[in-house]
Every structure is written in structure tokens, then in C-alpha cells.
Amino acid sequence: MLAGRAGTRGAITSEVTGNTKGLRASAVRTIERLYERRVRPTEVVSAELAANLCRLSHELRRQLGVLIDRRGQPEHVVVGDASKLWLPDIGRLRTGHGRLRGLRLVHTHLRGEELTNDDLTDLALLRLDLVCALTLGADGQPARAFCAHLNPDPAAGDPWTILPAVAAQQLALDPLALVQELESQFARQGSGRAAGQVGERALLVHLGLDRAARSPAACIAELKELCRTAGVVVLDTVTQRRSRPDPRYAVGRGKLEQIVLRANQLGAELLVFDPNLSPAQARAISEATDLKVIDRAMLILDIFAQHAQTSEGRLQVEAAQLRYMMPRLVEKNTMMSRLTGGIGGRGPGETKLELNRRRARERVTRLNRQLAQLPEQRQRRRALREARELPVVSIVGYTNAGKSTLLNALTNSDALAADQLFATLSPLSRRLRFPREREVILTDTVGFIHDLPQEVIEAFRATLEELRNADLLLQLVDVSDNDFRAHIATVQQTLTDLEVGETPRLLVFNKVDRLAPDELAARLAEFGALPICALQAESCRALLEAVAQALWREGKPITAPAAAPALSEN
């Protein structure tokens, strides 16, 4: 059983580790002599070492284990109890795909049992070369040998292969030849990934909570789409349902071990969690797995950083990222702390972690000063528009609903319109001419998403303030999405949070060409929305007529027409 999984590999010592409580000093000295038993590199365990392990284990009624390197030198001698071992902290190997630990575990089983789940879990989590359990005969001599090694095939059900049991005296397995073959197969998998895939390889972890507003399938589908947009390669998805998140690991400890086993089996470098993690949870999971860990909020921020094209957008994204990361800045290894003293230091010394946090706070302060100037610039532009008495129509909606495509269709523009989330971050305005020499300003805005991180809302608040000056909102909905009702609710709640819930709105259903006629008719009747296909400009005529009627209805309030109650004041 694994006691600790952090740290780095250290020098070989003669210290006995594990459960030494209650052992006499003479017994400990006898166990220490196991360090002197060398093993040929081409044998799993020598007959002499196996006999000594089993004899001592029989006398003490405790499991004994030895971690042997590839030269045949025992690196660690471990004492357990009658049923399990507690392995020492031997570090974790993340130097690259295809590499194993360079250690094999040989230990005893007192009750004649086969390899246990603890044995196999340690094999996979520590990426050991091999694990071998020796059972004891009635006289305390080695009886049978049970061995297992990692399985390089990611399609296999288990990440390990259990070899047939043999008599201990007949164990003729060559560990060096086995390891060379295994690492060769792992390396071939790694080269195939490099040639065929771009981006980090991720395992998705979805925690479904009781009374959740959305179905697990919808959440997982959206998370996969976020990963695709971010350029992350999704290998598999692991789910768990709980009444509430575990305060330390979000998922349970046992589930986390399953996640790490699956990540190791698939060669994943990244764990993506949904819903969001607290700073303490992210830190605990990272320390327990030694994998890069992000959550949904960090993934969204990464997408924003990739898509930010304007200087304004880059400022907003950087500010959001720094605000999100500051409480998550942790010092991976306190032994590597650096002290900064003297002029410019804080007190007698400042750790590298504290220095990073201070610099992040200073950078956020500078960014906030620059962002504070943006509303003034927008106000000047708005004043020019108001002087010309041009109405403003803003397109709002869930991300990837087709807002930029609609802007292009109505104004013959060439705004970036991509089948990905958050393709638009900065507002883009174009003039739209109506009959009788009337014009409006049509504005595309950043898409909304369920549970949008607060850091993103704060960073883009200046951008979203454009909505407060809109005379009319076009709430665009991808009606072909099975979760479109939740998307409508999310957008309406976000508009309310931005204090623009009272602005008149037209509900517009896009991508109607993807639905069967009877299904489309039912959804239109349910919501009284205007149907369009933004890729077909001709389908937008009814929408333009509804916009003109809403903006220039003289002497009448802007309300929804009786025939199509799509325009709302709430």
C-alpha cells in the first residue's frame, strides 16, 4: 500500500522503513542485512534473498518487501503488517511517456493470497517495472510467486497484466528483457501521439451533484466542446455522482485512484474537472496525482487567452487569469524556496511563492488602471453615435449560437465566425441600413455560458456594459442543441445579472435547418421565436422586419407583436 507519492528519488540507504513499531532492535538489524543481498539483473529475485525474506516474514508474522533497482541492488527494505505494506516515498516518474520507474517490488504474502488490489494499484501509480508476491510454505520457505507488470495497450480493460503463478523455485522471468520490451511499446505509443495529435492529452472528470440543474450528458458534451476549442485531445471521461463534493479531492479518494490509473493507462498529461475546483482541492489533487490539473473555469480562461485578438481583449483576459490564479499559486517544493533579502525585499526574506504573488497583485493593479480607461473611450464613441441618433441593436446568446455569422449575414461583414466556443471576445459593431435612409448599429458580443467564471464576468464587465446602451437585444439561440432551453435560461439570467434584463428582446432561433419540420414547429410554438438560418441571408427577412417594427413604432411602446410574442421587456 502506498504511503506517500510525493518527493524525489534519493540516495540508497540501509534504513528499514514502514511498520517497524514493536520490533526489537536485533530484528531490525537482521532485516537491514537484506540490503546486502545482491540480485542478478536478469532475475526477479535470487533464491537467497527470497529465502531470507520468507523466513523473516514467517518469524515476525509481518509482510516484508524489497524495492530492487535494475542493477540488482536493493534500494528500500520495507516492513508491513500481516496484510499489507506501506511503501516509502520514492517519488513519481513524469519525465516522459514510455519510461518506467526502474524499480521492481518483491514482497511476501503470509496467507497464500494472490496479488492484491493494493499491489496492482502501487504497480500502476508508481509505474514500477514489476511487482512480485511470494507466498510462504508451512516451514516459512518460498512457495509460489505471483507477478504482474504494466500493460502498454490503452484499450485493455486493466492497466496491468497478471502473469500465471509459478513455483517460487521455477521463477525464470528476465526483468530486464521484460522492461525493455514494455518501454519500447510505451515509446511507440508516444511517437504515434506526437505524429497524429496536437495538444495536451486529457482525461475529463465530471462530478455530477444531486439536484444539479443540468444533465450530466449536457455538461460532459459542453466540456468536450470546450476542450476541442482549446486544442485539448480528450482521451476518456470519468464520472461520479455525489450528494456534495469531497472537501479535499472533489471526488472520493478511491475514485481519484481510479482516475490516476486510467490517466496512466491512456498516457494522459492533464485532468480537466467539472465543476470548478476550490484552490485547496486543485492543490490536493495535483499533489496526489502529479498530473496537471485544471477545471472548467481555467479551461474557459485558456480559450479566451487563445482567442483574444485586440489589445483590450488581451488586457481583460490577463487580468482574469491573474485573479483566478493568485489563490492557486502554491510552492511545489519548499526545499526549493529562494529568499530575497536586502534592498527591494520584504522583511528579512521573501519566498519565491510570496514574490510571485506580490508580482501578480502588482500586475493586476496595473491592468485594472488600464481597464478603467476603457469605459471612458467607449463613452466617447457612444456619444458620437447618440449625436447621430443611431439605434443600437446587440446580438446576445449562448456561445457558438451563431452570433458572428448573423452579423456577417446582415451587414456583409467578414467577422471571424468559427464552429467553436468563444470565437468572439471583443465587441464588433457594424452599420446596418434599413429602407427610408434609416440606419442602426449592430453589435456582436462575447457569448455566454453556463456558470461563467466570476473572474471572466469581472474582466469583461466593461465590454458587456455595451449592452446597457442597446435599444434592442437579439437573443440568438441554437435551437438544434438538445440543451437549448437551459441555454435560454442561462442567457436570461446573465442579462439580469448585468442589469439589462429590462431591455426589449427578440428571441431568435438559429440553425433551424438542422431540425425536422415538425420538431421545429413545436419549438417555435412553445417559445414564439423568430426562425432563421444565419447562413442563408434570405431567411433573415422576417427578423429585419421585426427589428424595424420594434425600433420605429411611433407613439407605441416596444412590445412583442401578438402574432409572434418574441419581444420581451423582462
Task: Name the residue type at position 549.
Answer: Q
Taken in order 366, 367, 371, 372, the sign of the CA dihedral is negative
User: Of all residues in the chain, what percent carry a pLDDT higher than 70?
Assistant: 76
Torsion, Cα of 367, 371, 372, 378 (10° steps):
170
Q: Are domains 200-302 and 384-568 of this chain identical in fold?
A: yes
The full length of the chain comes to 570
Task: State the Cα–Cα distance between residues 155 and 333, nearest whole angstrom.
Answer: 35
In this predicted structure, the answer to whether residue 567 has a pLDDT above a threshold of 70 is no
* Lowest pLDDT segment from 65-74, 381-390, 507-516: 381-390
Q: Which residue has the cell 516518474?
A: 93
In this predicted structure, the answer to whether residue 102 has a pLDDT above a threshold of 70 is yes
Q: Could you write out the DSSP letters of every residue in 432-500?
A: EEETTTEEEEEEE-PPB-TT--HHHHHHTHHHHGGGGG-SEEEEEEETTSTTHHHHHHHHHHHHHHTT-
> pTM above the 0.95 mark?
no
Can you give the pLDDT at residue 566? 32
Task: State the Cα–Cα distance between residues 266 and 126, nearest whole angstrom.
Answer: 15
Buried residues in 450-477 as b, exposed as e (16+ CB within 10 A) = bebbebbeebbebbbbbbebbbbbbbbb
Taken in order 33, 39, 43, 44, the sign of the CA dihedral is positive
Task: State the Cα–Cα distance between residues 400 and 477, nearest whole angstrom.
Answer: 9
* 3-class DSSP state of 406: helix
Can you give the pLDDT at residue 475? 93
CATH fold group of domain 200-302:
Rossmann fold (3.40.50)
Can you give the pLDDT at residue 70? 93
Can you give the pLDDT at residue 335? 31
- Give the containing element (helix H, strand E) for 51: helix 47-60
- pLDDT tens sequence across 109-129: 999 999 998 898 888 888 899
Can you give the pLDDT at residue 32? 92
- Cα 168 to its chain centre, rounded Å, is 45
Can you give the pLDDT at residue 63? 94
Task: State the Cα–Cα distance between residues 570 and 100, nearest whole angstrom.
Answer: 61
- pLDDT tens sequence across 501-536: 788 889 999 999 999 999 999 999 999 899 999 888
More confident residue, 416 or 169: 169
Average pLDDT for 479-493: 89
Domain boundaries, the chain: 16-193, 200-302, 308-372, 384-568
CATH homologous superfamily, domain 384-568: P-loop containing nucleotide triphosphate hydrolases (3.40.50.300)
Average pLDDT for 489-497: 86
Can you give the pLDDT at residue 570? 29
Average pLDDT for 210-227: 83
Can you give the pLDDT at residue 368? 72
- pLDDT tens sequence across 234-255: 999 999 998 899 999 999 888 9
Can you give the pLDDT at residue 323? 78
Which pLDDT band holds residue 411 (cuts at 50, 70, 90)?
confident
Summary count for the chain: helices (H), strands (E): 17, 19
